[in-house]
């Protein structure tokens, strides 16, 4: 119980004093997660909607199975795969991304993208089929039909984005493998928590954990507000 109290006090001190090292870690956490979520949303929402709507997509069944498989991939396996791809002997080794924030963003995109695509596909498939027939009767193109269905399924799409955010904001295995947990360069909240726990600095690790929970709460509150607003339109 004393460790928890010390952790709460330390978290309050770190937030109130604006510790530069902690602020840097928080900024990098938000940057990596936010960018990965944005990329996953831009790619995953249209891809998931297309899979849910258009049955004539080549190898649609195989792609769907791959998306479902990707939704359950262990993050550490994703990190290992991205590490091998970005290593010097890997196909993308010439980019020099390994142990940089770019590698961390790539790993988190691989984790979040199937979640966004899969849940968006499910949300689109649950839309009343009569809407599609009505839109087609009005002469809409395939992309206009896609936009109309997405608008109808917007609450489910927002839920997909929220789920993807939750899957990467607390992720540690993949970012540690490809980022290396380098102080001042690739250290984020989750990897800092692991490091401080291993060093026996439990109050600092707990303080960083509390800050991570606060960030996750605030981000999810914003996303929930957007979802509620979408549902009220």
pLDDT digits (tens, 9 = 90+) for 160-184: 998 899 889 888 889 999 998 888 8
pTM: 0.88
Collapsing DSSP to helix, strand or coil, 184 comes out as: coil
- What integer is the mean pLDDT of 104-123? 94
For residue 170, give the nearest of 205, 216, 117 by alpha carbon: 216
* Domain 40-185 annotated CATH 3.40.190.10: no
Residue pair 180/99 in contact by the 8 Å Cβ criterion:
yes
In the structure, what pLDDT confidence band is assigned to residue 232 with cuts at 50, 70 and 90? low
Q: What is the pLDDT of residues 130-165, one digit of tens each?
A: 776 677 766 767 777 777 888 888 888 888 998 899
Distance CA 26, CA 93 (A): 28
Residues 6+ apart with CB under 8 A from 76: 173, 174, 177
> Which of 16 and 208 is assigned the larger pLDDT?
208
pLDDT of residue 79: 93
| Domain definitions of the chain by residue range | 40-185
Residue pair 55/48 in contact by the 8 Å Cβ criterion:
no
- List the structure tokens of 164: 């993807």
- What integer is the mean pLDDT of 192-213? 84
> Which of 27 and 148 is assigned the larger pLDDT?
27
Residue pair 159/79 in contact by the 8 Å Cβ criterion:
no
In the structure, what pLDDT confidence band is assigned to residue 106 with cuts at 50, 70 and 90? very high
pLDDT of residue 203: 74
Question: Quick check: 231 pLDDT over 90?
Answer: no
């Amino acid at each position: 119980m004393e460790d928890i109290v010390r952790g709460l006090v330390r978290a309050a001190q770190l937030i109130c004093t604006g510790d530069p090292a902690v602020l840097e870690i928080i900024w990098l956490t938000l940057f990596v997660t936010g960018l990965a979520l944005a990329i996953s949303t831009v790619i995953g929402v249209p891809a998931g909607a297309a899979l849910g709507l258009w049955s004539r997509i080549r190898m649609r069944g195989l792609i769907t199975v791959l998306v479902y498989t990707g939704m359950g991939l262990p993050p550490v396996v994703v990190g290992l795969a991205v590490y091998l791809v970005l290593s010097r002997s890997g196909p993308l080794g010439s980019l020099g991304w390994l142990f940089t924030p770019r590698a961390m963003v790539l790993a988190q995109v691989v984790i979040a993208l199937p979640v966004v695509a899969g849940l968006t596909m499910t949300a689109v498939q649950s839309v009343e089929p009569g809407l599609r027939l009505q839109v087609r009767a009005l002469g809409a193109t395939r992309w206009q039909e896609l936009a109309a269905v997405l608008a109808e399924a917007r609450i489910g799409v927002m839920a997909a984005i929220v789920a993807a955010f939750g899957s990467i904001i607390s992720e540690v295995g993949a970012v540690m493998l490809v980022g290396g947990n380098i102080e001042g360069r690739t250290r984020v909240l989750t990897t800092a928590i692991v490091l401080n726990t291993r060093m026996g600095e439990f109050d600092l690790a707990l303080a960083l954990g509390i800050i991570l929970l606060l960030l996750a709460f605030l981000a999810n509150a914003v996303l929930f507000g957007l979802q509620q607003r979408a549902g009220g339109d």
